[in-house]
């Protein structure tokens, strides 16, 4: 059973981490190669939880990615790339006659990103579709020390599937498993905000490590002030709560501690893709390696600062901070 101090018996360098979510094919538009007859784009892959899994693996953690793909060559290619990053793919389910989701990404001059999705039939939406699939997956997940997912992960599933997932997670946490959750709220994926509030609240109630972004919380609760959002996030059983505030740094709350963690360096913003995803990975990695929450926030800010100074979600290996 994990303790309420630092949960050292669970958060250690050998911890087994399951990351649940969706990864899609990514089209990055290249205006320099466009012609009057055609656009030009580079094909890659991306997804918030997959980004986090890659950075976790690069930082020395034992990570399994939990998702579903098709039986096509694009899905096979993605799995090979993830395995080259050191991610275990034994829980990547493959469904016949399916294709992975697809999105196109654009960046404006400030580095802010915009997405266009083709994902309504993505195979990951079938991951919890039957009782048999749910029971088989939950049986596998019981052996993991940490389960990580995001609000985007939750948006993939129907309410009865989420009911089953949270029933499993309640038992998992009661037995000492650590749940880590990043809200990562995307309005287009939650047409009914009240539904998102319901499921996010359940996730926060169970989470040992909560990693919300303040701007996302203010979007989800538009009538709430920043102070009000922070007080709401603090409700319930005391958790390790790291509130990301963009250029203002982050706020770390744990046990009886509350520390403001400003960003120490000025960065030239190029692309904000995966800023939060990389932060989350580095934070959890630092905690597993014995650093306290403030030290972990500094490590997370260092990686995120490097990520936003480069195009794309994933840094070249030689650009990873030492």
Question: Catalytic residue positions?
Answer: 277
Which strand (E) or helix (H) includes residue 152? helix 151-155
Rounded to whole angstroms, the Cα distance separating 123 from 70 reads 6
Rounded to whole angstroms, the Cα distance separating 313 from 51 reads 7
Candidates 274, 280, 283; CA nearest to 306 is 274
Candidates 250, 255, 256; CA nearest to 298 is 250
Q: What is the residue-wise DSSP string for 244-306?
A: E-GGG-EEEEETTEEEEE---S----S--TTHHHHHHHHHHHHHHTT--HHHHHHHHHHHHHH
Rounded to whole angstroms, the Cα distance separating 278 from 53 reads 9
Question: Which token pair is 128?
Answer: 């919890």
Rounded to whole angstroms, the Cα distance separating 301 from 297 reads 6
Cβ neighbours around 127 below 10 Å, total = 24
Question: Which token pair is 189?
Answer: 């994926």
Contact 180, 146 (CB under 8 A): yes
Candidates 301, 309, 253, 298; CA nearest to 279 is 301
């Amino acid at each position: 059973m994990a303790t309420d101090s630092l949960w050292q018996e669970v958060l250690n360098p050998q911890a087994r981490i399951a990351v649940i979510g969706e990864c899609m094919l990514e089209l990055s538009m290249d205006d320099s190669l466009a012609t009057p007859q055609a656009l030009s784009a580079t094909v890659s892959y991306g997804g918030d939880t997959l980004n986090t899994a890659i950075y976790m693996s690069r930082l020395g953690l034992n990570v399994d990615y939990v998702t579903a793909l098709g039986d096509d060559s694009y899905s096979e290619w993605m799995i090979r790339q993830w395995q080259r990053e050191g991610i275990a793919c034994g829980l990547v389910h493959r469904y016949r006659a399916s294709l992975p989701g697809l999105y196109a990404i654009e960046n404006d001059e400030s580095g802010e990103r915009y997405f266009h999705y083709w994902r309504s039939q993505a195979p990951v939406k079938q991951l919890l579709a039957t009782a048999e699939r749910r029971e088989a997956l939950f049986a596998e997940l019981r052996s993991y020390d940490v389960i990580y997912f995001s609000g985007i992960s939750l948006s993939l599933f129907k309410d009865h599937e989420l009911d089953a997932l949270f029933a499993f997670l309640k038992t998992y946490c009661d037995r000492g498993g650590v749940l880590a959750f990043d809200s990562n709220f995307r309005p287009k994926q939650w047409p009914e905000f009240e539904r998102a509030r319901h499921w996010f609240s359940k996730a926060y109630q169970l989470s040992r490590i909560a990693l919300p972004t303040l701007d996302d919380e203010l979007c989800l609760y538009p009538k709430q002030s920043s102070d009000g959002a922070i007080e709401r996030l603090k409700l319930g059983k005391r958790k390790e709560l790291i509130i990301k505030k963009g250029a203002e740094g982050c706020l770390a709350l744990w046990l009886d501690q509350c520390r403001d963690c400003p960003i120490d360096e000025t960065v030239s913003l190029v692309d904000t893709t995966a800023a939060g995803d990389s932060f989350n990975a580095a934070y959890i990695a630092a905690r597993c390696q014995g650093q306290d929450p403030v030290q972990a926030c500094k490590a997370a800010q260092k990686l995120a600062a490097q990520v936003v100074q480069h195009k794309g979600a994933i840094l070249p290996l030689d650009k990873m901070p030492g």
